[in-house]
Amino acid sequence: MLIKWKKTSDVKPSEITPKDVFLNRRKFIQAAAIASGASLVPNFVNSSLATTAPGYDGKKFSNVNKSAFGKAEKLTTYEGLTTHNNFYEFGTGKSDPFRNARTLEPSPWSVEITGHAAKTGTFSVEDIIKPHQLEERIYRLRCVEAWSMVIPWVGVPLADVIKRFEPNSKAKYVAFETLVDPKQMPDQERNALPWPYVEGLRMDEAMNPLTILAVGVYGVHMPKQNGAPVRLVVPWKYGFKYIKSIVKISFVEKEPPATWNIQAPSEYGFYSNVNPNVDHPRWSQKKERRITGEGGLSALLTPKIETKFMNGYAEEVAHLYKGMDLNKFF
Ligand code: MTE
């Protein structure tokens, strides 16, 4: 199935670093590293720990429908998107999830559906996400920490999943929870965050066609460190909304709690829409550094690029916030 939506969200080819410029920059960095005697490549990139089996079980999806999303995007490499993660259940360092997530057991996995809906209960991931509906969606992920990636997700529209459970008119929001099990998620023994990690969306945000439940990247089952077996992807919002390893989805009447909003309400709002015009209290949100996954430290020397309003997806989602003061509802 090919979905054709007119949109402004695709990265223009002119935004992509030409290969020769990139290679020259890389050579320059390597030469600089040799000259200074330093290894500028972070250890984990070349480490023997590097992921050998792609995805959580080395399996590929057999048929994934292509969508028209992000055709012109330069993708972050598989290695890039699996070695630089935020998944505090496995540690607070960016390479901790890559090192530590092996204890996660993504299969079998069940998700509880509860709240204001005609159908509720506990379902396997395979019951919730039908293999024939899987699509590839290439989306930008803009982290609140001002880095970004371009990721080829495999997933299904959340709207299709929600409809099957027939939420009623009291279901104004959708709430999500991550697993709590310190045996599988050892850093839950420490309290870097309150557990479970929780997130939420307004029903119209959850039903927007851009919102997906993702079960893979690059055509393979979701790597553990990226939130196996199922996670949320909301590309116009900061990455912390993309809750990982979901075990519960609830249809609720009131705005549900969201982890980073509970943790630091003046810094992280419920909406968390990417917005270069609203700074984080401690840093600007005007620019971002694109992580390509190539070239080790050269990534850190890549010039910053302008962050786009709603991460470049304004045409599809700006209407959801019409009349709202985005300085207040950040
Ligand atoms: N989900 C859970 N359960 N725990 C987390 O710590 N971190 C969030 C989000 N989902 C997080 C989470 C943050 S801050 C970001 S930026 C994204 O996951 C990162 O997703 P990635 O590691 O696949 O790039």
The larger pLDDT score, comparing residue 330 to residue 49, is at: 330
Average pLDDT (26-31) is 35
Question: 244 C-alpha to center of ligand 1: Å?
Answer: 6
Tens of pLDDT, residue by residue over 257-289, are 999 999 999 999 999 999 999 999 999 999 999
Average pLDDT (39-51) is 36
By the 8 A CB rule, do 159 and 91 touch? no
Model pLDDT, residue 20: 35
* Percent with pLDDT over 70 in the chain: 83
Which is the closest atom of ligand 1 to the Cα of 178? 3
**Does position 8 have pLDDT exceeding 80, yes or no?**
no
Angle value at C-alpha 75, between 241 and 39, nearest 5 degrees: 95
Pocket of ligand 1 (CB under 6 A): 85-89, 141, 143, 178, 197, 226, 239-240, 242-245
Question: 240 C-alpha to center of ligand 1: Å?
Answer: 5
Looking at ligand 1, which residue's alpha carbon is closest to its atom 9?
A: 240
Q: Which two tokens stand for residue 170?
A: 């009291």
Pocket test for ligand 1, best of 217, 240, 280 (most atoms within 8 A of CB): 240
- Cβ-Cβ contacts under 8 Å for 317 (sequence gap 6 or more): 205, 208, 210, 236, 273, 310
By the 8 A CB rule, do 270 and 261 touch? yes
Architecture of domain 13-321: Alpha-Beta Complex (3.90)
How far apart, in whole angstroms, are the C-alpha atoms of residue 240 and residue 221?
21
Closest to 243 (Cα-Cα) out of 154, 176, 186, 179: 176
Model pLDDT, residue 22: 32
Question: 243 C-alpha to center of ligand 1: Å?
Answer: 6
Cis, bond preceding 229 (omega within 30 deg of 0) = yes
Tens of pLDDT, residue by residue over 211-257, are 999 999 999 999 999 999 999 999 999 999 999 999 999 999 999 99
Which is the closest atom of ligand 1 to the Cα of 85? 22
Plot region of 209 (φ>0 → left; ψ -120 to 50 → alpha; else → beta): alpha
Tens of pLDDT, residue by residue over 293-319, are 987 766 667 889 999 999 999 999 999
Q: What is the pTM of this model?
A: 0.86
Q: Which two tokens stand for residue 28?
A: 């320059």
Q: Which two tokens stand for residue 92?
A: 């607070």
Burial of 309 (0-12, 13-18, 19+ CB in 10 A): middle
53 band by pLDDT with thresholds 50, 70 and 90? low
Tens of pLDDT, residue by residue over 65-111, are 998 888 788 999 999 999 999 999 999 999 999 999 999 999 999 99
